Amino acid sequence: MSKIILIMTDTQRADMLGCYQETGLKTPFLDTLASESMRFTKAYNTQPVCGPARSAIFTGLFPHSNGITTNSVSLYGNVKTIGQRLKDYGYHTAYIGKWHLDGGDYFGLGTCPEGWDPDYWYDMKNYLEELPNDERLRSRKEQTMLEEPISSDFTFGHRVSNKAIDFLEKHTTEDYLLVISYDEPHHPSLCPEPYASMYKDYTFPVTPNIFDYLDGKPEYQKQWAGKKLNENPSDMEIKSQFFFGCNTYIDSEIGRVLRTIKDYADDALIIYTSDHGDFLESHHLTGKGPAAYDEITKIPLLIKCKGIVEGNTIYKYPVSHIDLVPTIMDFAGLKIPQWIDGQSLLQGLKNHTIRVNDCIFIEFERYEIDHDGFGGYQPLRGVYDGRFKLVLNLLCSDELYDLEEDPYEINNLIDNTAYFDIRSQLHNRLLRWQNDTRDPLRGYYWANRSWCRESVYDPWNHTGMTRQREHEEYETRQLDYDTGLPMKKAVRPK
């Protein structure tokens, strides 16, 4: 039997789990899972905002390839999710929880997309439709927890867990992919007692980059920080009672699910991750958005599977959400499709000394199509090799960080000639990735930067190549423009 379970949260930094860093936050169930899993210490999302991050997790394509480069837009019509792919091979595929890939607003359309079991579909709109209007209003406000205690039954997370437990108990003899996607601890961070008051007097540990005044950093980050740059953070206390309480609460809900998995699917491949983090005042910034700093791009990733993964091991090489789809397909014994951007981590799961990726990539275009704020259009492309991180901000200045010497990414080395070779190597790798993945924003301007004016690309013709799509599991081979016949090579002179 082949059982695959993917559990994810929203807005949960790696250092919000005790197994990653001791901060005083309690996550006992995820910490126990970590002791039975491989823990990835350099795992990253592809874009630090909800929809795009999730699009990579569930398609194996970068946001610029699958169509979701911002919140509130949908996948391209020819893009298939891992649910659709596994269903075609006889798997029972069920998705329970936050989706964010259908082009609807924050809560979704409430409609099961192709590839998933409609009997178990349950997104945030479905949850809200269960509530009368007055309770809907209460469900969207942190103030609710100050007015009167709420029960677990009232929260989205508890209802998601209930449906997941029902699935696990009823489908013990099938091959399946089960996705359990919580909105918590994302705002409004609803949680019952004792969690709601557990961190009333708690302060999250500050890091040196709360003193990053963004000197030598891109101008847009200073605009983002705004008046905070005039504040002295020496006496700063990072407090967020309900957010941190909900972090521990959702750990307890995951614990309910993990207990059921132990009873009914103990040999399953279990993947746990989150979509992105939150700055929590680092770099004088809040929330998440157009940046590649670790606080919002580095995410927790735990993978457990008896007989394959040795428990309590650490994988120290860079990996990405983009690698999850090929890993799942490889585990299931299926051929990894040609039109997939990531790499299978299966060999790394079997042997933590095997490095799968030479580097990983991060992008950004826009926070949300519905909103005019959040900096608007902020095209970013980044590459990280496990030590150095190069970030190109198309409309602004660029960044280079040495995370071994400067783990809090305070010192921008982009104009430091001592790093000429590593900067050039990462730059070339990034440009090659843009070409390989058919990045629609690729062009000479990514090569012709202020610190690297000698572009190898023709400003008008770029590389002079055509790069047609190869998605032949679900569509016929594309036709060559010059012949009208099926193309022989997808990449060729144009």
Residues 299 and 327 in one domain: yes
User: In which domain, by residue range, is 431 found?
Assistant: 363-466
pLDDT digits (tens, 9 = 90+) for 292-330: 999 999 999 999 999 999 999 999 999 999 999 999 999
Of 360, 378, 404, the position where a domain reaches its end is 360
pLDDT(453) > 80: no
Number of domains in the chain: 3
What pLDDT digit, counting tens, does each position of 324-367 carry? 999 999 999 999 998 999 999 999 999 999 999 999 999 999 99
CA distance 476 to 145: 55
485 and 458 in a common domain: no
Residues 355 and 371 in one domain: no
Residues 128 and 85 in one domain: yes
Q: What is the 3-state secondary structure (H, E, C) of 141-170?
A: CCHHHHHCCCCHHHCHHHHHHHHHHHHHHH
| Whether residues 394 and 486 fall in one domain | no
Are 346 and 386 in a shared domain? no
Q: Are 74 and 101 in contact (CB under 8 A)?
A: yes
181: pLDDT strictly greater than 90: yes
Predicted confidence band at 376 (pLDDT cuts at 50, 70, 90)?
A: very high
Are the CB atoms for 159 and 256 separated by under 8 Å?
no
Higher pLDDT, 29 or 235: 29
DSSP string across 91-144: -EEEEEE----BSSSTT--S-PPTTS-TTT-B-HHHHHHTS-HHHHHHHT-THH
pLDDT above 90: percentage of residues in the chain: 94
- Assessment of whether the complete model's pTM goes beyond 0.85: yes
Residue 473 has a pLDDT of 87
Residues 209 and 114 in one domain: yes
| Residue 434 CA neighbour count, 13 Å, CB half | 22
Same-domain pairing of 276 and 423: no
- CATH number, domain with residue 230: 3.40.720.10
Residues 196-254 have pLDDT tens digits of 999 999 999 999 999 999 999 999 999 999 999 988 888 889 999 999 999 999 999 99
Which of 302, 325, 360 is a domain's end point?
Answer: 360
- Residue-level length of the chain: 494
pLDDT of residue 383: 98
pLDDT-based confidence at residue 1 (cuts at 50, 70, 90):
low
Same domain, 347 and 443: no
Do both 263 and 337 map to the same domain? yes
Cβ neighbours for 7, distance < 8 A, ≥ 6 positions apart: 180, 181, 182, 254, 257, 270, 271, 272, 273
Residues labelled catalytic: 50, 100
Domain C-terminal end among 304, 334, 360: 360
- Domain co-membership, 14 together with 102: yes
The model's pLDDT over 258-282, given as tens digits with 9 standing for 90+, comes to 999 999 999 999 999 999 999 999 9
In the chain, the percentage of residues whose pLDDT exceeds 70 is: 100
Looking at the fold, whether 25 and 100 belong to one and the same domain comes out as yes
